[in-house]
Amino acid sequence: MRIKTTRQQHILRIKTSIRWLLYYLLIFLSFIIMTSGTLYKPILLVPLAIGIAINNNIYGSAVTGAFCGFLIDICCGKLFGYNAVILAFFCIAANLVFELYLKNRFINYLMITALVSYIQCWLDYKFYYQIWDYENVGRIFVRVSLRVWAYTVISSFFVYLLIKLVNKLLMPKEHLTIEEAINTNIQTENKR
Amino acid sequence: MREFLKSTRCKILLAFLAFLIGIMIYAVTRGGYSISGASFINTITKPFRAASNRISMKMENTVDKLSNADKYYEENERLKKQIGELNAQLTEYDAIKAEVEELRKFVTIKEKNEDYQLSQPCGVLGYVTNDPFKSFTIDRGSEDGIMVNCPVVTAEGLVGITVEVSKHVSTVRTILSPDLSVAAVASSSNADQGIIEGNILSSENGQTKLIHVPKKNKLKRGDLMITTGTSGLFPKDYPIGTILDIGLDSNGLSVCADIQPCVDVTRLTSVIVITDFSGKFHDDEEEEKDDKSDKADKDEGKAHED
């Protein structure tokens, strides 16, 4: 690990701010795309929230997940907070899973996104259609929920590329301050 | 000089000048048509002149471009700006034209139904994402006098009902939704009543369904279904849609029909909300009724106690 200077710390702060700004700009753009037109569209905010969650700290992931969830609720006309809860939960879970068990690779991201968006679509179908026992309700699952899920999974590829690009440009490499480095050394020596 | 004037050279030259003047006078008498010699020369030299002209024009243009580059650049910018302004004006004009046409239609609603209290024309902000029943949001809310359960219409017919109202935005549930039931009657007979309620299959084609119609009815294809106004949620006699197909319900006890709504709810740009109309059901009225019945119950109870 390298030791970071005050200047590097300053740069790191600026880069982090710009990175989050870009994340939220992407979120805003996705929201706009989702609210336009009458065709069935992917829930772009799901892969985006997961993509942000697996690359950042857990608090940021949770907040971003909730925010994206609120936006989904607004554009999909769902109970305000319903998707926020679901997505915040899955973002935290995704963050932990990637921190502890999985490597940050596209295939892992794709699997997690596919799983999360499937659960989100299924819950949506369950609570908003099946529970009311409409006639031919199964058609909604096949023709709407599964279609939206497939679109979401396909769109996750492009979302991943965008997040990767932002991270490549603005994600800081691991650094330590001099103070942190000294503390770490003292701690290691004490342990010995 | 005198020598020259007397010389043969001078006489020949004068003769030549006279010949030329003669040709000129002849040319004048031709009434605009070239004389054969000139025509011949023109024919021979035409391709060369054309080529030469092209080259010179190109050169002139190049020189002109180089020498007047700034002037052209400025002119170009000015024209671009002008085109932009004209395009903006054109777009604005189109928008105003469309709006005026919409407003004209809405005026007819008011003219036909004087008891209606109409909201300002509401623009459709967007359709609810991935909703199979095409719910949508409009750009007016409680500040514009819109409340929950207000009928939403266009000049052509009923669209739906407001289900969620915030200060500046409202959500509209359409007649394609199974969660909205509207009592309807055929306008031709004014006798065959039923309930118009969306279902999943019909909504895929932008249609809705008429259900619970008695087996003995005079309904036929093409009949216009209108609101009965009995529920107090919708005004009386407002068009909903026309009958496409008639069949038996799945239980076999009543008749149902496919309805093509008068309004294509999947492609709306503006709608109008009827905030009040004669016969509208008010929550306050119900509360008052409840209060009265509570009072009556209490009085009755007291009487019994006495």
pLDDT over threshold 50, residue A8:
yes
Listed range (A146-160, B30-44, B109-123, B200-214) with the worst mean pLDDT = B30-44
Q: How far apart are CA A94 and CA A50, in angstroms?
A: 7
Give the minimum alpha-carbon distance from B100 to chain A in angstroms, rounded to a whole number.
24
DSSP SS3 for B76: helix
In percent, how much of chain A has pLDDT > 90? 45
Contact A136/B at CB under 8 A = yes
Tokens of B276: 């009040």
Nearest residue of A to residue B265 by CA position? A38
Mean pLDDT of A133-137: 84
Q: Which residue has the higher pLDDT, A154 or B296?
A: A154
Domain boundary among B64, B92, B112: B112
Q: Which residue has the higher pLDDT, B170 or B252?
A: B170
Sequence-separated (6 or more) residues with CB below 8 Å from residue B178: A132, A134, A135, B133, B197, B198, B199, B200
Q: Looking at the structure, tell me whether residues B142 and B271 fall in a common domain.
A: yes
Nearest residue of A to residue B267 by CA position? A38
Of B129, B164, B179, the CB nearest to A75: B129
Q: Looking at the structure, tell me whether residues B141 and B264 fall in a common domain.
A: yes
Is A191 part of any domain? Answer: no
Is A98 part of any domain? Answer: yes
Of B129, B134, B164, the CB nearest to A76: B129
Nearest residue of B to residue A151 by CA position? B130
Q: Looking at the structure, tell me whether residues B106 and B152 fall in a common domain.
A: no
Q: What is the dihedral of CA A96, A100, A103, A106, to 10 degrees?
A: -20
Compute how many other C-beta atoms are within 10 angstroms of the C-beta atom of residue A116: 25
Q: Looking at the structure, tell me whether residues B130 and B201 fall in a common domain.
A: yes
Is B214 part of any domain? Answer: yes
Q: How far apart are CA A98 and CA A88, in angstroms?
A: 15
**Whole-number Cα distances in Å, A58 to B63, B224, B248, B271:** 67, 59, 58, 45
Of A38, A136, A143, the CB nearest to B127: A38
Classify residue A37 as left (phi > 0), alpha (psi -120 to 50) or beta. Answer: left
Domain boundary among B112, B132, B154: B112
Give the minimum alpha-carbon distance from B281 to chain A in angstroms, rounded to a whole number.
26
Q: Looking at the structure, tell me whether residues B80 and B147 fall in a common domain.
A: no
Is B128 part of any domain? Answer: yes
Q: Looking at the structure, tell me whether residues B158 and B220 fall in a common domain.
A: yes
Q: Looking at the structure, tell me whether residues B124 and B269 fall in a common domain.
A: yes
Q: How far apart are CA B64 and CA B72, in angstroms?
A: 10
pLDDT at B31: 61
Domain count, chain B: 2
Is A188 part of any domain? Answer: no
Mean pLDDT of B134-143: 88
Is B290 part of any domain? Answer: no
Mean pLDDT of B243-253: 85
Nearest residue of B to residue A148 by CA position? B130
Contacts 24+ apart (CB under 8 A), B192-197: B192/B217, B192/B218, B192/B219, B193/B228, B194/B225, B194/B255, B194/B256, B194/B257, B196/B225, B196/B240, B196/B241, B196/B259
Contact between B164 and B171 (Cβ < 8 Å): yes
Domain count, chain A: 1
pLDDT over threshold 50, residue B305:
no
Contact A127/B at CB under 8 A = no
Nearest residue of A to residue B203 by CA position? A140
Is A92 part of any domain? Answer: yes
Q: How far apart are CA B207 and CA A60, in angstroms?
A: 45
Mean pLDDT of B164-185: 90
Is A96 part of any domain? Answer: yes
Is B16 part of any domain? Answer: no
Q: Looking at the structure, tell me whether residues B131 and B48 fall in a common domain.
A: no
Q: Is the Cβ pair A38, B267 closer than 8 Å?
A: yes
- Domain extent, residue B271, equals 118-278
Is B30 part of any domain? Answer: no
Q: Looking at the structure, tell me whether residues B145 and B250 fall in a common domain.
A: yes
CATH classification of the domain holding B198 = 2.40.10.350
Is B10 part of any domain? Answer: no
Q: Looking at the structure, tell me whether residues B79 and B212 fall in a common domain.
A: no
Listed range (A11-15, A105-109, A159-163, B109-113) with the worst mean pLDDT = B109-113
Please give the ipTM for the structure prediction: 0.77
Interface of A with B in 19-78 (CB under 8 A): 34-38, 40-41, 43, 75-77
Instruction: For B143-182, give one letter per residue: b (16+ CB within 10 A) or e.
Output: ebebeeebbbbbbebbbbbbbebeeebbbbbbbbbbebbb
Range list of H helices, B68-125:
69-112
Is A184 part of any domain? Answer: no
Of B126, B135, B200, the CB nearest to A35: B126
Give A-chain residues touching B174 at CB under 8 angstroms.
none
Of A36, A76, A137, the CB nearest to B200: A137
Q: Is the Cβ pair A144, B128 closer than 8 Å?
A: no
CATH classification of the domain holding A110 = 1.10.1760
Q: Is the Cβ pair A75, B200 closer than 8 Å?
A: no
pLDDT at A192: 61
Is B152 part of any domain? Answer: yes
Q: Looking at the structure, tell me whether residues B197 and B239 fall in a common domain.
A: yes
Provide the pLDDT confidence category of residue B306 given band limits of 50, 70 and 90.
very low
- Domain extent, residue A145, equals 2-179
DSSP SS3 for A120: helix
Is B293 part of any domain? Answer: no
Phi and psi at B187, nearest 5°, equal: -70, -25
- The pTM for the full model equals 0.68
Q: Looking at the structure, tell me whether residues B71 and B177 fall in a common domain.
A: no
The burial of B130, by beta-carbon neighbours within 10 Å (0-12 exposed, 13-18 middle, 19 or more buried), is given as buried
Domain boundary among B73, B92, B112: B112
